[in-house]
């Protein structure tokens, strides 16, 4: 382990004062963890939490509750998710004591080649419109999860979402603000204004009758209606009318994939993520690098603590840009990137006194923004971490006529340069930012969680786990503590790194003295609104079976149990 000098005491004056006015004497806790024995749900919107909790009260499984919550979120939080997007999940089966992974991400149009896309897009795939649309994987993901782990009929699981869409719901504060922001960007996209404008104000009742009809049709007709029936036909016709390339064959051939989760050990805990085409591997690589340093001896929020987080992120994100892609098209060296030996070589590149400016990917032996996350747990010990997204808030902005949802724009994240792991190809899954996570210890389930937030997600996972494991914070405190984000690394789309080494954004709550010390080491700070994600998580005590839920104060959400 790399030796570190002990940092001088750097507790903030604000934190010191808050020790006096918080009953439990912890500086960052906005509210207590929710504790229950039988079941727990944590989501970013209370209506979704309550609907999923009712499913659990009626004997549904953790997967049933997750599907219900996701469906309701697609109604009440369309600024982050919906049936026009993709889905990933980790499911702990308590009977088997085994973790299962589902990749329910869609693929690019089979009829669109890289030369054709380059001719249409130019230097970069656009963020909005029909070109970045890939097949939506969410609905197939629901039915895959349900077929394997569901107990209640799908119509029951979608009933709450159908009810809120048809009868209406009050727009919560952050969702209303995000809806208004998206409206400014997407008003001209096909079908958007007719179905999503005007954007609601906080507390205003919203009725989404067209989405209620679509969800009711899916409840009656199943996944086949979405991928081989009338809904697929409607989407294809609408996209084609505006110059898009999706065809009925793209929907008919779509399938989710059950995958083996990947893991690393971190100070005695096993941390699990899904393999590429997502970026969960990033979080595991960062933990491997940070394990080389004794973070627990440092002051939380000290210059050394934050410097190590930033520098580990820089190193790992260069590997992300160089090696990650759809494993059906590229040989992603997961085992090598996850090895402790490789992490040791990467950790040795960190200069404790200076910020790195030019960072290169590691040397390997050649081989032959805008999301929801939720967690559920049932009385049998099953747990789910699920994450689902439109990408860029309300996705492409393209809303097929009268269906009530937008299509995602995940295809924006392909690289247009040939020959790279994430280079565009027909029928290929793009690089994905959304990642669920799980922690076990000695073969027992401990924590199901996610931190939504685009590229920030691996940083968010690592900051949460370091707070919880190294600094021994409770789950709610670990997610409420101020966060730091580095931006400017090389991007999987081929956009090069910021030549000045990128920049750092911090939430309020860090010492000015620490920021000045980091600037002295070469870090560049900018003042702007940052994307610091939104945590939802459930911890299980293996000894008592008690469930502890936490929901990020940065969101409108709620953890609740019984």
Mean pLDDT of 238-250: 96
On the question of pLDDT at 18 being above 50, the answer is no
Catalytic member of 43, 49, 264, 371? 371
List Cβ neighbours of 545 (8 Å cut-off, separation of 6 or more).
Answer: 37, 381
pLDDT of residue 527: 79
pLDDT digits (tens, 9 = 90+) for 184-193: 999 999 999 9
pLDDT digits (tens, 9 = 90+) for 130-139: 999 999 999 9
Q: Name the token pair of 387.
A: 């994450």
Question: Hey, where are the domains in the chain?
Answer: 13-23+259-370+433-541, 34-257+386-413
Q: Which range (10-24, 85-99, 490-504, 513-527) has the least confidence?
A: 10-24
* Pick among 1.10.246.130, 3.40.50.300, 2.40.30.10, 1.10.10.10: CATH of 13-23+259-370+433-541: 1.10.246.130
| DSSP 8-state assignment for residue 63 | H
For residue 307, how many other CB atoms are within 10 A of its CB?
A: 24
Question: Which of 385, 383, 317, 334 lies closest to 87, judged by CA?
Answer: 385
pLDDT of residue 31: 87
On the question of pLDDT at 155 being above 80, the answer is yes
On the question of pLDDT at 468 being above 80, the answer is yes
Question: Which of 35, 74, 241, 259 lies closest to 169, judged by CA?
Answer: 74
For residue 44, how many other CB atoms are within 10 A of its CB?
A: 30
pLDDT digits (tens, 9 = 90+) for 387-423: 999 999 999 999 999 999 999 999 999 999 999 999 9
What value does the CA radius of gyration of the chain take, rounded to a whole number of Å? 22
Burial class, 247, CB count within 10 angstroms (exposed 0-12 / middle 13-18 / buried 19+) = middle
On the question of pLDDT at 463 being above 80, the answer is yes
Q: Which range (152-166, 392-406, 528-542) has the least confidence?
A: 528-542
Indicate the pTM of the whole model.
0.94
pLDDT of residue 15: 46
Rounded CA gap, 294 and 305, in Å? 10
Which three-class secondary structure state does DSSP give residue 35? strand
214 in active site: no
358 pLDDT band (50/70/90 cuts)? confident
pLDDT digits (tens, 9 = 90+) for 26-50: 778 888 999 999 999 999 999 999 9
> What element of type H or E holds 332?
none
Rounded CA gap, 203 and 225, in Å? 34
pLDDT of residue 25: 64
On the question of pLDDT at 54 being above 90, the answer is yes
CB-CB contact of 440 with 270 (8 Å): yes
- The verdict on whether omega for the bond into residue 198 sits within 30 degrees of 0, i.e. cis, is yes
- Mean residue pLDDT of the chain comes to 93
pLDDT of residue 179: 97
CB-CB contact of 459 with 308 (8 Å): no
What is the DSSP annotation of 426-492?
A: TT-PPP----EEEEEETTEEEEEEEEE-GGGHHHHHHHHHIIIIIS---HHHHHHS--EEEE-PPPT
Mean pLDDT of 353-360: 91
Mean pLDDT of 471-491: 95
407-443 residues labelled b (16+ CB within 10 A) or e (exposed)? bbbbbbbbbbeeebbbbbbbbbbbbbbbbbbbbbeee
């Amino acid at each position: 382990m790399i030796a570190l000098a002990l940092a001088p005491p750097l507790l903030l004056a604000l934190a010191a004062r808050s020790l006096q006015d918080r009953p439990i004497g912890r500086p960052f806790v906005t509210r207590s963890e929710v504790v229950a024995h039988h079941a727990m749900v944590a989501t970013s919107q209370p209506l979704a939490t309550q609907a999923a909790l009712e499913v659990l009260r009626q004997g549904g499984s953790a997967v049933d509750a997750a599907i219900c919550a996701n469906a309701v979120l697609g109604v009440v939080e369309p600024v982050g998710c919906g049936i026009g997007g993709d889905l990933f999940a980790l499911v702990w089966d308590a009977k088997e004591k085994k973790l299962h992974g589902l990749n329910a991400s869609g693929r690019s149009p089979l009829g669109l080649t890289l030369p054709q896309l380059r001719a249409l897009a130019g230097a970069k795939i656009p963020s909005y419109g029909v070109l970045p649309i890939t097949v939506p994987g969410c609905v197939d993901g629901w039915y895959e999860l349900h077929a394997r782990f569901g107990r209640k009929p799908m119509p029951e699981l979608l009933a709450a979402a159908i009810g809120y869409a048809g009868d209406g719901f009050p727009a919560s504060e952050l969702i209303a603000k995000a809806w208004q922001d998206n409206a400014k960007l997407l008003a001209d996209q096909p079908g958007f204004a007719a179905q999503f404008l005007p954007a609601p104000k906080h507390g205003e009742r919203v009725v989404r009758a067209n989405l209620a009809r679509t969800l009711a049709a899916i409840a009656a007709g199943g996944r086949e209606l979405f991928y081989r029936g009338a809904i697929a036909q409607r989407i294809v016709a609408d996209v084609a009318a505006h110059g898009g390339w999706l065809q009925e064959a793209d929907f008919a051939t779509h399938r989710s994939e059950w995958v083996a989760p990947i893991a690393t050990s971190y100070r005695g805990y096993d941390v699990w993520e899904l393999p590429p085409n997502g970026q969960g591997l990033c979080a595991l690589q960062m933990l491997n690098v940070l394990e080389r340093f004794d973070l627990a001896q440092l002051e939380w929020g000290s210059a050394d603590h934050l410097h190590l987080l930033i520098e580990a992120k820089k190193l790992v994100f260069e590997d992300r840009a160089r090696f990650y892609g759809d494993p059906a098209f590229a040989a992603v060296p997961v085992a090598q990137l996850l090895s402790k030996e490789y992490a040791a070589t990467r950790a040795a590149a960190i200069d404790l006194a200076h910020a790195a400016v030019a960072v290169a990917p590691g040397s390997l032996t050649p081989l032959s923004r805008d999301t929801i996350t939720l967690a559920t747990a049932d009385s049998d010990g099953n747990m789910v971490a699920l994450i689902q997204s439109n990408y860029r808030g309300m996705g492409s902005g393209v809303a097929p006529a009268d269906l009530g949802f937008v299509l995602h724009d995940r295809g924006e994240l392909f690289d247009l340069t040939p020959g790279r792991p994430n280079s565009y190809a027909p029928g290929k899954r793009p690089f994905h930012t959304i990642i669920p996570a799980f922690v076990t210890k000695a073969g027992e389930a401990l924590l199901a969680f996610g931190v939504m937030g685009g590229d920030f997600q691996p940083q968010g996972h690592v900051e949460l786990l370091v707070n919880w494991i190294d600094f021994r914070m409770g789950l709610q405190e670990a997610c409420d503590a101020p966060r730091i984000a580095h931006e400017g690394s090389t991007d999987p789309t081929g956009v090069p790194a910021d030549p000045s080494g990128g920049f750092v954004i911090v939430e309020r709550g860090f010492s000015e003295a620490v920021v000045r010390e980091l600037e002295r080491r070469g870090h560049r700070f900018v003042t702007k609104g940052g994307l610091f994600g939104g945590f939802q998580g459930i911890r299980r005590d293996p000894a008592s079976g008690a469930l502890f839920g936490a929901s990020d104060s940065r969101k409108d959400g709620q953890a609740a149990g019984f």
